[in-house]
């Protein structure tokens, strides 16, 4: 059904009038509702104790419980049971991790760096040795032999002479 322009105008006027009436009634009711003034009542002492003292005692009271004797009522170690259960769950879980591609992002050999570090560390140790007593256990003069070798002499023939 098609509505003509006059019907639309009438419908709009009716809705607008109803809306204004509802808003007016709501505001009027709210204005009258806020005008209530209550008289102050006199104090009635109907509680035969001080609630403040009772609450303070409750908050400051310390309870002293006696130590109870240990009762071994579980024939197994619960910590061990939990650890075994967690282990079983972890073993049975299938962790599928994505394979990572190799990235050659170090421009040096870490193995060589570690070897160099260990070598430098070992060489830097200063060994303090006590002087040994002189022992004459060589039956020939090594200094003379070394000189004869350096002078292109025959060291074997020299040793044989001694």
What is the residue-level pLDDT of the chain in tens, covering all 162 positions? 566 777 777 888 889 999 999 998 888 776 666 656 777 888 777 888 888 888 888 888 787 888 888 888 888 888 999 999 999 999 999 888 888 888 888 888 889 999 999 999 988 888 888 888 888 888 888 787 777 776 655 656 656 665
Residues 110, 114: Cα–Cα separation, whole Å? 6
Neighbours of 122 (CB within 10 A): 8
Neighbours of 159 (CB within 10 A): 13
Positive or negative: CA dihedral 81, 82, 84, 88: positive
- The three-class DSSP label of residue 56 is helix
Q: Which two tokens stand for residue 34?
A: 């806020």
């Amino acid at each position: 059904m098609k509505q003509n322009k006059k019907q639309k105008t009438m419908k709009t006027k009716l809705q607008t009038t109803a809306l204004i009436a509802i808003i007016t009634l709501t505001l009027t009711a709210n204005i009258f509702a806020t005008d209530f003034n209550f008289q102050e009542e006199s104090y009635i002492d109907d509680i035969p104790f001080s609630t403040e003292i009772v609450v303070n005692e409750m908050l400051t009271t310390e309870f002293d419980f006696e130590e109870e004797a240990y009762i071994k009522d579980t024939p197994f170690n619960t910590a061990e049971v939990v650890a075994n259960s967690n282990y079983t769950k972890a073993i049975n879980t299938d962790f599928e991790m994505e394979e990572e591609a190799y990235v050659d992002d170090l421009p040096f050999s870490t193995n060589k760096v570690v070897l160099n570090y260990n070598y430098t560390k070992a060489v830097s140790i200063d060994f303090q040795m006590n002087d040994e007593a002189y022992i004459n256990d060589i039956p020939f003069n090594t200094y003379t032999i070394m000189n004869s070798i350096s002078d292109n002499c025959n060291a074997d023939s020299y040793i044989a002479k001694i």
